[in-house]
Amino acid sequence: MTLADIFEKYKSGDLDLPEALQKVSNHGIDEMGFATIDTDRLHRTGLPEMIYAAGKTTDQVRQIAERMYQNGSDVLASRVTPEMSAAIKEVIPLAEYNELARTVSYRHQLIQNPKGYIAVVAAGTSDMPVAEEAAETARFLGNEVKTIYDVGVAGIHRLFHKMDLIRGARVIIVVAGMEGALGSVIGGLVDKPVIGVPTSVGYGANFKGLSALLSMLNSCANGISIVNIDNGFGAACQASLINKL
């Protein structure tokens, strides 16, 4: 129930003053004891409430997803296990599981942003889980997404073969591990916002993504912003906000 609904019901006499005040004070909050769902996040921030499943039990994830679904909210859970996916699908049978991205999603109605597409570019096949998380999140948020995979600097001619598709995007997410050089390369070739996602892919001196993170932060190409290591989800949220401007 929106604030407008509450005021209309009070105006019509369906709610008395104490009831209306209580609903206003509780607006945007759905208490579950172990979780508090932010039901007003979409209207407040432009991004809906979503479920970060890592660290939660399978039953907690299932209950949160079920409550959101029953209340008419779209559902996206990230970092889900196969067990969590099966539990969610018990209560939301039409939910879609992307095993590589580790996401489960369900939308009551898909409304796509008509302005343009987001390109998700991954340096290597090993970076695809993070790239897929970004792609699934961006699609959930109503964006058209085009993916370009395995075009890293070790064979840079593969990137040039896809440059028209990359340059046609309104926002570009670049996912790269190892030394994270792909963000700088693309940043120097396009006139669109570039969001770099360093990944933990790499041998020992990669330090679980720290070397890629520092390389991207030290990029000499302008117009690049960076999110945390392996955070495809966060990159997609930022890209979606930019794409909808």
Query: Are 153 and 223 within one domain?
Result: yes
Q: What are phi and psi of 236, to 5 degrees?
A: -65, -40
Fill in the amino acid letter for 104.
V
Q: How far is it, in rounded angstroms, from Cα 207 to Cα 212?
A: 9
Question: Which pLDDT belongs to residue 218?
Answer: 93
Query: Are 155 and 45 within one domain?
Result: no
Q: Which residues partner with 196 through β-bridges?
A: 174, 226
Compute the residue count for the chain: 245
- The pLDDT tens digits for 157-182 are 999 999 999 999 999 999 999 988 99
Is 185 inside any structural domain?
A: yes
Query: Are 57 and 138 within one domain?
Result: no
Query: Are 94 and 177 within one domain?
Result: no
Question: Which pLDDT belongs to residue 23?
Answer: 61
Q: What is the pLDDT along the chain (245 residues), one digit of tens a residue?
A: 566 677 777 677 777 777 766 666 566 666 667 888 887 788 888 888 899 999 999 999 999 999 889 888 899 999 999 999 999 999 999 999 999 999 999 998 877 777 899 999 999 999 999 999 999 999 999 999 999 999 988 888 999 999 999 999 999 999 999 988 999 999 999 999 999 999 999 999 989 999 999 999 999 898 899 999 999 999 999 999 999 99
Query: Are 177 and 203 within one domain?
Result: yes
The range of the structural domain enclosing residue 29 comes to: 19-106
Is 74 within 8 Å of 48 (Cβ atoms)? yes
Q: What is the CATH number of the domain that holds 165?
A: 3.40.50.1970
Query: Are 83 and 132 within one domain?
Result: no
Q: Which residues partner with 106 through β-bridges?
A: 75
Is 2 inside any structural domain?
A: no
Query: Are 54 and 73 within one domain?
Result: yes
- pTM of the full predicted structure? 0.86
Query: Are 125 and 226 within one domain?
Result: yes
Side-chain-side CA neighbours of 33 within 13 Å: the count stands at 2
Query: Are 122 and 100 within one domain?
Result: no
Q: How far is it, in rounded angstroms, from Cα 114 to Cα 90?
A: 33
Report the number of distinct structural domains present in the chain. Answer: 2
Query: Are 139 and 101 within one domain?
Result: no
